[in-house]
Amino acid sequence: MVSAAIGKKIKKLKDDGLSQHKIGKKLGIAQSTVSDYLALIGEKSDQSKTKKAVDAKADYDKERRLSLNNKFFIKIEKMLDEAKTPNDLRALATPYGVASDKRALLERSSNVTPSVSDQSIDERLESLARRRAERKAAADQ
């Protein structure tokens, strides 16, 4: 364990706002020793900054994926309007289904709410099915 003098230095540096890693480097001891000492004297380890940063990054990543997913839906809807054959529709249905499933997972696992202008996944799938039926009926005639 650490001496009383080192313990006082650890406590002072912690009170000054240094991280356990920086305290250890400054005093030439392992971060785990700093952590053990602080736990021994009842000081809580402050990992809230790291957790907040990690959570913020995760939220940003989810928002970015949702945004890219929206762009993909817009693009595929334009392509859907231009589809002329059942094969064209079939080629669009698979990526559309995958994107829809991914979107549902992102929305469920996220605190991020999709923008109000976005159609729901069910509406998009109904639209795809309706267009597919229209194209098939036109092709059969």
pLDDT tens digits for 26-73?
A: 999 998 898 888 888 888 766 666 777 888 888 888 888 888 888 888
Q: How many domains does the chain have?
A: 2
pLDDT on residue 117: 44
Give yes or no: residues 94 and 66 share one domain. Answer: yes
Q: Are 14 and 44 in contact (CB under 8 A)?
A: no
Give yes or no: residues 83 and 54 share one domain. Answer: yes
pLDDT tens digits for 87-121?
A: 888 888 888 888 888 777 777 775 545 443 445 66
Give yes or no: residues 33 and 60 share one domain. Answer: no
Give yes or no: residues 60 and 121 share one domain. Answer: yes
Mean pLDDT for 5-30 is 90
C-alpha–C-alpha distance, residues 57 and 83, integer Å:
38
pLDDT on residue 110: 58
* Rg of the chain on CA atoms, in Å: 28
Residue 35, both tokens: 């952590």
Give yes or no: residues 63 and 125 share one domain. Answer: yes
Give residue 33's domain range.
4-40
Task: Give the model's confidence band at 128: pLDDT under 50 very low, under 70 low, under 90 confident, else very high.
Answer: confident
